[in-house]
Amino acid sequence: MPSLKDLKNRIESVKSTRKITKAMQMVAAAKLRRAQESAEQARPYTERFNAVMGQLAASAGGSDSAPRLLSGTGSDQVHLLVVMTAERGLCGGFNGNIAKRARAKAQELLQAGKTVKILTVGKKGRDQLKRDLADKFVGHVDLSDVKRVAYSDAQGIAKDILSRFDAGDFDVATIFYSQFVNVVSQIPTAQQIIPADFDAPEGDSGGTLYDYEPDEEAILADLLPRGVATQIFAALLENGAGEQGARMSAMDNATRNAGEMIDKLTIQFNRSRQAVITNELIEIISGAEAL
């Protein structure tokens, strides 16, 4: 049974931990507001951009002169998985869920006889995947020094992916990230970016017709690389909001658990102290009676 000194030291240790988790919760809450606003403000542009690109793709998709980013290489043998996670931990299952989704996809492709290559963005995803898939890694993007994700960061990642595609390193590219819903809900998502996969716009079906100048193929050739960067940037923003939301929730749970542990240890400490006092009284009374 632990001594009174051990119990007291442990209570003080848990109190110090609770202060840290509470401070981290408050910092995450402050960062969450900015990250959530950035993610929500980017969604209308991304959705509208994808709608326009979907209409262009529907018009030019069957053309022989369609860009390779839209039509693909004609094969799906080599897959590039871009796994986007956080640079830091202490955010519950946020990073683990993304890595789990990517690992399942990689195993599915390998079982189908495909070649898998992995590009990691964020060291937590790299750490979780290197145990099983370290031989599939082809690159890593470190954003640990970035205080706030900017479009230039997404452009750098997109440029790396596009250069690999132009060099014939892969046929299909898919990004993995977590879509932010709310503080307690982030959905691991897989999105194919090469060849570009746009949903056909629903509102314009059978309605307005557009004439493009120059033609659709020329516009797509210019916009498709930007589309890759736009989708990556949107995924980074969603990840940023999801990370802070998951960290806020995890630190809140940790703070509550620390409080419960302090209460239990305090009860145990009081009982042990009461037992010590009782034993001392018994010894004093027994000694007095012996005299």
248 and 28 Cβ atoms separated by less than 8 Å = yes
Q: CA-to-CA distance for 55 and 232, rounded, in angstroms? A: 21
Q: At what angle do helices 216-290 and 4-60 cross, to 10 degrees?
A: 170
**Quick check: 69 and 195 in contact, CB under 8 A?**
yes
Distance CA 55, CA 49 (A): 10
For this structure, is 2 an active site residue? no
Pick the catalytic residue from 57, 91, 234, 254: 91
| β-bridge partners, 84 | 121
Catalytic residues: 91
